[in-house]
Amino acid sequence: MGVKVIIPTPLRQFAEGNSEIEVEAKTAGEALEKLTTEHSELRTHLYKDDELRSFVNVYVGDEDIRDLNGTETAVAEGGEVLIVPSIAGGNLAGQARAKSDLPELTQEEYARYSRHLILPEVGLEGQRKLKNARVLMIGTGGLGSPLGLYLAAAGIGTLGVVDFDVVDESNLQRQILHGTKDVGRPKIASAKDRLEDINPNTNVEAFETRLTSENALKLFKDFDVIVDGTDNFPTRYLVNDASVLTGKPNVYGSIFRFEGQASVFWAEKGACYRCLYPEPPPPGLVPSCAEGGVLGVLPGIVGSIQANEVIKVILGAEGILLNRLLLFDAWAMNFRQVKLRKNPDCPVCGDNPTVTELIDYEEFCGLPNAVEERQETLEEITATELKQRLDAGEDLQLIDVREPHEYEIAKIPNTKLIPLGDVVKRRNEIDENRTTVVNCKGGVRSAKAIKKLQEAGFSGRLINLKGGIGAWSDEIDPSVPKY
């Protein structure tokens, strides 16, 4: 019996779809070397210059190998090596006040919260703490929907919500805070209406704005708990750093495809998000839910876990997810927990912090440089231009780099399917003497495919379809389904 290496969802496409692979190894490093030798594309995602990337954590059992012997950490026969990439107790500060200072409940509230009141872990005092609490929720999307619904229903006194997006049809598969009638409305308006309907006793403070380095500290200072319902790395690091600098607990959740993560980051009592992931992954390395998909019920489960932790933090309960990372796989239906430790060298919450004010988080995550680099090296074509050139009889070959199940949903006529994970090893199927237009759903994976082909020595002309098949549906053929 060898050692099992557990492959997370975002990396399975580079391991032939496997969720776990058994290798013969005595250490974590040896297991990873054998894994990446067998599946060479994984190496780019796990290593940089033969060192494990900072946004990829590796656990043996429930211990981070950084807290053990690093890659030399021994793994027993039959043991597991768990790869965890970034995808995101005690009384609450400001809540430790005398019972007489807590707000009283009305007769209606006694009836509304009766199932809480008869729980000894909550009781009358606990419900008054919830009524007294001020919680700021960042985002009203997949995670923010169950978060908002359950926090309002639980009797949180003031619920702040931050969002600047509008409701889109593609949101409705999972963002249950919004309905069909809300399509096209600002999410903040839809959310406020629904939350006030759930519980008119909850004061909903709506902030229709993008969270930025300029407004985060001002927003955070008036709330007791921050809940991270974001879906991108710049905002996630911003939420973390602003929470540390204002001394607020940060209840974290993230989702991708079938997998979710949850934790409570509270620098005064333990680790922060940067202790877990010191640096973000390079732009484009981790696909978004729009590109990779997400099971509709997954944010409901993870968001509900976050709501649970918010309530426990306010109540001063034991057993909050402090210094623990909860990992959930909805497809395999299993939960795992791994330990987190405060990093004394953490740049924001460590012994000698270097981040003492909020920074440019898009620059920190490499986004401006990525855009500039893309503009310099990537030739693009619009759907309208492509149609015109095809109608003119130009000899173009069309390559679609989506997955086969996506190709079944919608396709541009006369395209050849070569999924992104296969594009390099099947490059001989692409004629280098013809101009090639590469497409995907929105233009992200096709750009990656072009870069991979160029790096592999492909010498033909490669053009990216700007906006992907979604743009083709918008500009050329509305009968092509958008998904």
- b/e code 139-159 from CB counts within 10 Å (16+ = b): bbbbbbbbbbbbbbebbbbbb
Catalytic one among 275, 346, 365, 440?
A: 440
Beta bridge partners of 335: 328
Helix residue ranges, H only, 17-77: 28-38, 40-46
Cα distance between residue 175 and residue 145, in whole Å: 6
In whole angstroms, give the CA distance from residue 29 to residue 6.
Answer: 14
Q: Give the Cα separation of 82 and 58 in Å (integer).
A: 6
What is the DSSP code string of 66-114? GGTTGGG-B--TT-EEEEEE-----PPTTT---GGGSPPPPHHHHHHTH
- Can you tell me the distance from the alpha carbon of 435 to that of 149, in angstroms, rounded to the nearest whole number? 52
Helices (H), 415-482: 444-455, 468-475
- Exactly one of 289, 346, 349, 365 is catalytic; name it: 289
440 counts as catalytic:
yes
DSSP conformational letter for 441: S
3-state helix, strand and coil shares in percent for the chain, rounded to the nearest 5: 35, 20, 45
Q: Which residues contact 262 (CB under 8 A, 6 or more apart)?
A: 251, 252, 253, 302, 305, 306, 309, 321, 325, 326, 328
- State the Cα–Cα distance between residues 276 and 270, nearest whole angstrom: 11
Query: What's the chain's length in residues?
Result: 483
Burial of 54 (0-12, 13-18, 19+ CB in 10 A): middle
Q: Locate tokens 């990656």: which residue?
A: 448
365 in catalytic set: no
Tell which residue, 448, 462, 477, has the closest CA to residue 13: 448
Instruction: Name the strands in the sheet holding 435-439, side by side, starting at the edge strand that comes first in the sequence.
Output: 380-381, 462-465, 435-439, 396-400, 415-417
Residues with active-site annotation: 289, 440
